[in-house]
Amino acid sequence: MSNGFETLFGAYDDLEYVGDANVAYSFGVGGQFSGVPMHTHGPGWSESLIGRKHWFLAPPDATPNFDPNVTAYAWALEALRRGDVRDGEGGILECTVNAGESIYFPPNWWHATVNLDESVFISSFVNSVQRARDEL
């Protein structure tokens, strides 16, 4: 079955720092101010192909104050108003990933994203099961 994704992913060059890691790809398209609420998972990279994506990150032991039923955009506005985002001062870290840039997210770090523009992106998730087997 050919759905066109083989051509898309075949044309995609892995980020050079992914190396020989066993990764699963996630391709996404998002409208302005869409995003993903706070969550965690294993390590990976996210690359913005088109548009800008704003990231909010917190270490595993610093669970952010968030409501999973609120959009990432609404949460971000409230978190900024409350002063929860205090880059470098023990609060939630933030950055913007522009087109052609990428970000690494460590395992189990909390993160949320808000698309500042219409965005196209690819994320590479390290296969944690395979990584654990390789370490045995």
Looking at residue 85, its pLDDT comes to 79
Total tally of structural domains belonging to the chain: 1
Q: Is residue 54 part of a domain?
A: yes
**Domain at 69, CATH number:** 2.60.120.650
Whether this prediction's pTM lies above 0.85 is answered by no
In a domain, 27, yes or no: no
Residue 95 lies in a domain: yes
Q: State which residues form the domain around 63.
A: 32-135
The DSSP secondary structure of 26-88, one letter per residue, reads EEEEE-TT-EEEEE--S-EEEEEEES-EEEEEE-TTS-----TTS-HHHHHHHHHHHT---TT
Strand order in the sheet with 35-39: 35-39, 110-115, 53-58, 93-97
Tell me how many degrees the CA angle 13-125-114 measures, rounded to the nearest 5. Answer: 95
Give the CA-trace dihedral at 122, 88, 33, 99, to 10 degrees. -40
Tens place of pLDDT per residue across the chain (136 aa): 456 666 666 666 665 655 666 777 788 999 999 999 999 999 998 999 999 999 999 999 988 888 989 999 999 999 888 888 776 556 789 999 999 999 999 999 999 999 999 999 988 888 765 454 555 5
Phi, psi of 59 (to 5 degrees): -65, 160
Measure the CA–CA gap between 34 and 51, rounded to whole angstroms: 12
Give pLDDT, residue 1. 42
- Nearest alpha carbon to residue 18 among 47, 39, 38, 41: 47
Residue at 3 is within a domain: no
